[in-house]
Amino acid sequence: MSRTLEIRDLFVNYNTDEGVVHALNGLNLSLDKGESLGLVGETGAGKTTLALSIIRLLPDMVGEIKSGSIEFEGKKLLELSKKEIKNIRGNKIAMIFQDPMTSLNPTKTVGKQLREVLDLHFKKLGSNEKREKADKMLQLVGIPPERQNEYPFQFSGGMRQRIGIAMALIAEPELLIADEPTTALDVTIQAQILSLMRKLQDEFSTSMILITHDLGIVVDTCAKVAVIYSGQIIETGTVEDVYAKKFNHPYTEGLFKCIPDLKTNAPRLTPIKGNMPDPENLPVGCKFYDRCNYRTEKCAQKEPDLYTNVTHGIKCYKFADGWGK
């Protein structure tokens, strides 16, 4: 299998008036062709920062990629010019946003917006072919093509998200980044959208990064999982590795315990104590140190490596023995 995306040692800062916010702190991540990866983390962990770094849409002046590399199909994305990255963004790497109402243009019909993508990325196609392609795509996501002359506000939330997916996939991207695509939707509509995404991902063999805070969504939709905390990947593996709940990072373990279980009737939940460290002054050692039940002195002094066992990697000293580096 060939590598689609390889992120090495990525550091991203936001330079604000109050100080420097360390959003990503040495993040490593890789994705093969056709693979789907669920990126799980809480508010402020750096999920969206990572997505914006890949498509180079960090806010100007404020967001700064300090060091590290992002390789996409062998190209070093961070070294490309603005013009070159523009050709990749939307064409090779597409993104689906959380709120489909704010990412669609309210003043243009849905069909027009879809054909705009084609105008940009398939310049050679004739207008009839473009229309055909747009019709086919709409049909694929379950929107009757006759409705393409309507405006976004005339569609329901679920349908708008389908349109968002159609817009992202019509250029046949190699990599799809979906940032909380179902958070604004109801559960039954969420189930529809997720099954649609699975189907389309198979059909186009697109690689996908699904960003979410919901551990339940990942297990049904993705093959691989990465847990992000304080701008670092602290656990990664196949869905089976992580959800077997045998070996987990203390943070992942805590997350699982926070979710009420449908099968048992535990009277109380076990929340993770404390908060994520302040990104303006991060601890030297393990970023989870303050909240961890297993901490030792070593954890405060030096950050652990990601110890691996075949496909499963955990960034915690608990796994230093027996697991490789």
Partner 1 sequence: MDGENDMVTPIIETKRLKKYFKVRQGLLHALDDVSLSINSVETLGVVGESGCGKSTLGRVLLGLLPATEGDVLYNGESIFDARGRKKDFIYNEMQMIFQDPFSSLNPRLSIKDLIAEPITVRNTITDKVEIKNKVLELMELVGLSERYVNTYPHELDGGGRQRVGIARALALDPKFIVCDEPVSALDVSIQAQILNLLMDLQERNELAYMFITHNLCVVKHISTNIMVMYMGKVVEYTSREMLFEKQLHPYSQALLSAIPLPELRQNREAIVLTGEVTNPINPKPGCRFAQRCKYATAKCTDQEIPLVEVEKGRKVACTLYM
* Site for partner 1 contains 19 (CB under 8 A): no
Residue 88, C-beta contacts closer than 8 angstroms, at least 6 positions apart: 72, 75, 77, 80
Measured between alpha carbons, how far is 309 from 315 in angstroms, rounded to an integer? 12
Q: 45 with 215: CB under 8 angstroms?
A: no
Partnered with residue 30 across adjacent β-strands are: 6
Count of residues for the chain?
325
- What is the nearest approach in angstroms of partner 1 to the Cβ of residue 185? 9
Q: 257 with 249: CB under 8 angstroms?
A: no
Measured between alpha carbons, how far is 325 from 319 in angstroms, rounded to an integer? 10
Measured between alpha carbons, how far is 143 from 64 in angstroms, rounded to an integer? 40
Q: Which is nearer to partner 1, 79 or 261 (CB)?
A: 261
Single out the segment in contact with partner 1 by CB under 8 A; choices: 110-118, 183-191, 277-285, 307-315: 183-191
Single out the segment in contact with partner 1 by CB under 8 A; choices: 14-22, 99-107, 168-176, 180-188: 180-188
Q: Which is nearer to partner 1, 232 or 252 (CB)?
A: 252
Q: Which is nearer to partner 1, 2 or 188 (CB)?
A: 188
Site string for partner 1, 134-173 (x = CB under 8 A): ----------------------xxxx--------------
Q: Which is nearer to partner 1, 85 or 223 (CB)?
A: 223
**Pick from 94, 95, 116: nearest CA to 105:** 116
Under DSSP, is residue 38 helix (H, G, I), strand (E, B) or coil?
A: strand
Measured between alpha carbons, how far is 322 from 204 in angstroms, rounded to an integer? 39
Among 65, 189, 223, 300, binds partner 1 (CB under 8 A): 189
Single out the segment in contact with partner 1 by CB under 8 A; choices: 22-30, 115-123, 131-139, 257-265: 257-265
Partnered with residue 69 across adjacent β-strands are: 8
Residues of this chain, 275-294, that bind partner 1 according to CB under 8 A: 275
* Site for partner 1 contains 256 (CB under 8 A): yes
Partnered with residue 21 across adjacent β-strands are: 14
Residues of this chain, 41-70, that bind partner 1 according to CB under 8 A: 42-43
Among 74, 271, 297, 321, binds partner 1 (CB under 8 A): 271
Among 9, 203, 240, 278, binds partner 1 (CB under 8 A): 240
Residue 136, C-beta contacts closer than 8 angstroms, at least 6 positions apart: none
Backbone phi, psi, residue 109, to 5°: -70, 160
* Site for partner 1 contains 234 (CB under 8 A): no
Q: Which is nearer to partner 1, 185 or 314 (CB)?
A: 185
Among 82, 123, 124, 268, binds partner 1 (CB under 8 A): 268
Which residue bears the tokens 């999920």?
A: 47
Residue 279, C-beta contacts closer than 8 angstroms, at least 6 positions apart: 21, 22, 23, 44, 230, 231
Q: Which is nearer to partner 1, 117 or 141 (CB)?
A: 141
Which positions lie near partner 1, rule CB under 8 A? Answer: 42-43, 156-159, 186-192, 194-195, 213-217, 219-220, 239-240, 243-245, 254-262, 267-272, 275
